[in-house]
A and B are shown apart, each in its own frame.
Chain A
Amino acid sequence: MLGLAAYCLLPWYGVDYGIFELDWIEAGGLLSEAGASGLLRLFLFSDGAMAIPAIALLLLVAVGSTPQLSRRLSMFSMAATIFALCAIIIHAMAGAGPMRSFGYGSTIILTVLFLSGTNLWSRLGKGNRDAFVVSSIAFVCALILLFVFYPIAQILVQAFVNKQGIFNVLGALNIATGGDIWSIGCLVGRSRCGVAVNSIILGLLTATSTTILGLAFALLMSRTRFPGKPLLRALAVLPIITPPFVIGLALILLFGRAGFVTDTISNLLGLEASRWLYGLWGIWLGQTLAFTPIAFLVLTGVVQGISPSLEEASQTLRADLSATLRTVSLPLMKPGIANAFLLAFIESLADFGNPVVLGGGDNVLSTEIYFAIVGAQANMMRAAVLSLILLALTLTVFIVQKRWLGRTDFTTITGKADNGANSMLSRGHKVIVYGLTLPWMLFTTLIYVMVFYGSVVKLWGQDHTLTLAHYKEAFEVSWSDGGIWWKGAAWDSFWTTISISAIAAPLTAGLGLLTAWLLVRQKFAGRSTFEFLTMLSFAVPGTVVGVSYILAFNNAPIELTGTGTILVLCFIFRNMPVGVRGGVAAMKQLDNSLDEASLTLGANSFKTLRHVVLPLMRPAIVSAIAYSFIRAITSVSAVIFLVGADHNMATAYIIGLVENGSYGLAIAYSTVLIMVMLVVVTVLQVAFGKRRLRREDRIGQQLSRPVVA
């Protein structure tokens, strides 16, 4: 409370005399009409509306410096704050003349007014009187509303309102029920299916195959004495640091028309090289490769969560290994398996990278949305309607997963000590598991070898001489005029990617962990709704996010398209649920009595967070930052809509290369990205390991001293 009050006080003073005058500086000097600060606008350009924030701010400064605050006065200043907030927003939206975007000054003023409002609210005795907690909750909610729900609402508007600004349900329905979306022609063997049907078929196929493979790998990992477990772990991490379309590219190198395997087979058998890869089957193969590790990670937790004593009990009751698995373990895993299936289904629906590379003639929803926007006719309304269909599909699955499976989880750990070991697989099951996993592991390894090989041959399918030309073209550096000249074609987007990801990562982790802390440690009305909303943004497909951001932030009052800011914001709110999840898991490991001890020792909740929770959560923070960084680098689906001429991201650039057929360059660039992320992960791993070592050193050193009991 103290810390936050001081934090709030500073901007109040600063706003009056400092920051206020920086307002709109970019549009030309302070004295020009467009660049004037609020204060100057008030006097020089007789913009009366500018008086409102000034009065509200002065009032808040006065109130803030009054130690004793009557109930009525705080009510009054809160009302004034809310009024000023509304006034600024209405002024911006409905102002005379062309709409103007918010500048630095107004953004800061809005934030300050908002935080003061929540501060006053907490002073009125709400929310346990802890201004920091109240402000944080309000702050996170406001951000989620502004950057997740407001853009999606814009899609709704776009879908149902036509160019003349007339509410038009029929038009939307017309698009939504079109045969090109829902046709099931391909099932009865006549023609092509609609894009939504394609998406759903693909989702079901991918979910089935990844769940089966994931389960096989999970069993291999925890129920056999398979010697290659470390390798398996590495293969599970690789896809996380692989941009999503890279696997698609490798598949093209293998099975495409000029592919290695295609060539060999057609030479051997004299068959015509076919284009089977480009379409639903190819996407399915690509997605199965890409998402099996996710299913594996989810299912490993499920398989290991089965209490060994249940399996041992089954064996003492005369069930053999195979019967135990069939009658006890698998039924207990059912909810976990369903969970993995639904997750894979959502991932498949939302995937953009594989369909855009491998889709060929078969479009799915996510690619259809993209082509509706970048295609020749640039049909925003169609894009919006398709986005709504995609969103409805993923949200339905997400809600099913949360509401229905949330209740039937048998595998939660009871906290009772469980002795014993999980039973091994029976011989028959072992054959099945090995039969599924070993070929797939080989295949995955081959794919990554191909990625590297593809980047060092001259022209795939025609000239297989080894060369570093692609790397040179992308990343050439030369010295000229005493400075470094980043000559390579990729440098520009590479640095943009790294810097934007580096900015977004700590912000993502910070916001995610703050939210996690609020969820785990604070009791407040509507907590479960709050949790649901934060996790909901996880279910919004990247393509939909991209479309919604274009629609929402293309015009005043918030005009961000084409800037780096919109990319950073997009990454923060797309990846925040990852930080929330990690934070929640880590925080649940921390005994609540540590927080309480800190509170009874006179620390407020902000100090407790700063001195107790954050230091203890350091590993979680590090991995949250690393993960958001990696996800920002590898993301494609939302980014592709948001990149501008000044801010091109690596993934969007590579997609461009693929569309032009420059596979060598694209793969070389991807390889470099994978390497960079590998280095980042390794460095963080080492830093994370260091902390442990220090701890052990210390204990070793202490043990040598006599211990006085």
Chain B
Amino acid sequence: MKLDTNWQASEQTSINLNDARGSIVFRNVVKKYGTVQAVNGLDLEIDRGELVTLLGPSGCGKTTTLRMIAGLELPSTGTIAIGGTDVSRLPATYRNVSMVFQSYALFPHLTVLDNVAYGLRMGGLKTPLAREKAEDALSTVGLAGFGSRLPSELSGGQQQRVALARAIVLEPEVLLLDEPLSNLDAKLRRYVREEIRTLQQRIGVTTVYVTHDQEEAMAVSDRIIVMEQGKIAQAGSPADLYHSPQSAFIASFIGEANLISCIASTVANGDRVAKIGEYRFTVPGSNVSEGQATLVIRPAAISFSTNADEGMPSMITSAAFLGDRVLYSIETPIGRLFYVEYTSSIRHPDRTEINITLDPAKLHLV
């Protein structure tokens, strides 16, 4: 039994990319399926104890990246290091990484307790001891006393917590979560994502979280890595991504935004000016190159003006009441914009003529 683990370890030549246990480093990783490139020369660094979200539309390579960290897929080329050790060719069985699956993947023929104890027993722990540790893990996720049930006898939220307990009981270097909230109803989601965040902070495990929901990503992450077509589009804290998007893709993907094409030019003090038709908007603190660009107008940058001489003459083309807010669509000289007003009733019905102004401090050029 000993023989093979030793041998496996011997093949792991340490490349010492990072001393910290729990760090993840991707160097020029490519994953091809036949002729399709799912991941396309990815460089990635995740620090110990961080909760990082891989965010992106479906097919962007985020799940493939997660599965390569797990060892369920091996990269076609490039290297992956976990905890400073090259694991590029090491299959999942031998990696110190746990994963919570989208479907939870609880073994239907085993009780909740045996599900949680499974990894411990596979690691060679005696059954009574494994069960004891599994009980502890179950109480960590608030499911003490549920051990003797079958997974099919639990609610979706409870199953999710069993999957989490099964992953963390192994005290992995890295915890992977693949769209963990997608099978829960909307109300439960917010509660569970807070729980996941709290638990992660408490045990301090490096966590990689895959989702396509930007709100979920912003709520739980230390850092968000937005992926597009197998590459990183932009990485940073939720606030970074929201306030200084580097591309129209990021701007539209993180938070809601109106994207208007414009011509950018530089003025004396170094600020940029966006020119759309006869309108000019000063955008301070931007360093976009001159020429064709995109002006990002968050709904928060828009305000209604009662002064007829100020701003752009516009017309409301639709107003939808959503309870706590009203969603407006506005026809303006620079194009159609949407705007959100937090009020309890529609103040400007359809076909109202109105003047709107843009707050320069809340505009971005990309």
What is the interface of chain A, defined by CB distance below 8 A to chain B? 1-2, 5-6, 9, 64-65, 67-69, 123, 125, 128-130, 591, 593-594, 596-605, 607, 611-612, 615-616, 695, 698-699, 702, 707-709
Contacts and interface: CB of A to CB of B under 8 A. Distances in A.
Contact of A599 (B89, B91, B103): B91
Contact of A2 (B1, B98, B153): B1
Interface stretch (B68-76, B288-296, B308-316): B68-76
B6 A600 contact: no
17 contacts: A5-B1, A5-B4, A9-B3, A64-B3, A67-B10, A591-B105, A593-B105, A596-B92, A597-B106, A598-B107, A598-B122, A602-B94, A603-B122, A604-B93, A616-B109, A698-B150, A709-B155
The 10 closest A-B pairs by CB, nearest first: A601-B119, A597-B105, A67-B6, A593-B105, A599-B92, A603-B122, A600-B99, A593-B101, A615-B109, A602-B122
Contact of A1 (B4, B10, B70, B109): B4
Nearest to A701: B153
A707 B119 CA distance: 27
Nearest to A129: B91
Contacts of A593: 101-103, 105
A130 B4 CA distance: 11
A702 B153 contact: yes
Nearest to B152: A699
A702 B149 CA distance: 8
B118 A598 contact: yes
Contact of A65 (B3, B5, B157): B3
B7 A601 contact: no
B170 A601 contact: yes
Contacts of B3: 2, 5, 9, 64-65, 67
Nearest to B95: A600
A603 to B, nearest CB: 4
Contacts of B94: 602
A594 B7 contact: no
Contacts of B227: none
Contacts of A69: 7
B92 to A, nearest CB: 4
Interface of B: 1-7, 10, 70-72, 74, 89, 91-95, 97-99, 101-103, 105-109, 118-119, 122-123, 146, 149-150, 152-153, 155, 157-158, 166, 170, 176
A615 B107 CA distance: 10
A67 B3 CA distance: 5
Contacts of A708: 146
Contacts of A596: 70, 72, 92, 99, 101, 105
Given A597-B99, A598-B107, A709-B155, 19 more contacts: A1-B4, A2-B4, A65-B3, A67-B10, A69-B7, A128-B74, A128-B91, A129-B89, A130-B91, A593-B101, A594-B105, A597-B101, A597-B166, A600-B72, A603-B122, A607-B122, A616-B107, A698-B153, A709-B157
Contacts of B149: 702
A123 B7 contact: yes
A699 B155 CA distance: 13
Nearest to B99: A600
B155 A600 contact: no
Contacts of A615: 109
Contact of A699 (B7, B107, B153): B153
Contacts of B91: 128-130, 599
A616 B150 CA distance: 14
Contacts of B122: 598, 601-603, 607, 611
A128 B89 CA distance: 8
Contacts of B74: 128
Contacts of A709: 155, 157-158
A613 to B, nearest CB: 10
A591 B153 CA distance: 19
Contacts of A695: 150
Contacts of B153: 698-699, 702
Contact of A612 (B107, B158, B170): B107
Contact of B6 (A68, A598, A599): A68
A591 B183 CA distance: 15
B32 to A, nearest CB: 13
B4 A594 contact: no
B118 A611 contact: yes
A594 B107 contact: yes
Q: Most chain-A Cβ atoms within 10 A of its Cβ — which of B5, B106, B108, B166?
A: B108
Contacts of A600: 70-72, 92, 95, 97-99, 176
Contacts of A598: 107, 118, 122
Nearest to B2: A67
A602 B118 CA distance: 9
A32 B150 CA distance: 62
Nearest to A614: B109
A621 to B, nearest CB: 13
B279 to A, nearest CB: 48
Contacts of B89: 125, 129
B233 to A, nearest CB: 27
Given A2-B5, A6-B1, A125-B89, A599 B109 contact: no
A130 B8 CA distance: 11
Contacts of B103: 591, 593
A548 to B, nearest CB: 38
B270 to A, nearest CB: 51
A607 B94 CA distance: 13
A64 B4 CA distance: 10
Q: Most chain-B Cβ atoms within 10 A of its Cβ — which of A64, A599, A601, A615?
A: A601
A708 B155 CA distance: 9
Contact of A602 (B7, B107, B170): B170
Contacts of A68: 6-7, 10
A601 B2 contact: no
A602 B170 CA distance: 9
A272 to B, nearest CB: 67
A602 B119 contact: yes
Q: Most chain-A Cβ atoms within 10 A of its Cβ — which of B4, B5, B107?
A: B4
Contacts of A604: 93
A426 to B, nearest CB: 43
A699 B151 CA distance: 11
Contacts of B166: 597, 601
A271 B146 CA distance: 81
Nearest to A9: B3
Contacts of A128: 74, 91
A130 B2 CA distance: 16
Contacts of A591: 103, 105
A601 B109 CA distance: 16
B93 A602 contact: yes
A596 B101 CA distance: 9
A611 B118 CA distance: 9
B22 to A, nearest CB: 16
Contacts of B158: 709
A69 B149 CA distance: 46
A191 B8 CA distance: 74
Nearest to B163: A597
B9 to A, nearest CB: 9
Contacts of B119: 601-603
Nearest to B70: A600
A528 to B, nearest CB: 13
Nearest to B150: A698
Contacts of B1: 2, 5-6
Contacts of A698: 150, 153
Contacts of B97: 600
Nearest to A592: B105
A611 B71 CA distance: 20
A524 to B, nearest CB: 13
A5 B72 CA distance: 22
Contacts of B71: 599-600
Nearest to A123: B7
A695 B111 CA distance: 12
Nearest to A618: B109
A594 B109 CA distance: 11
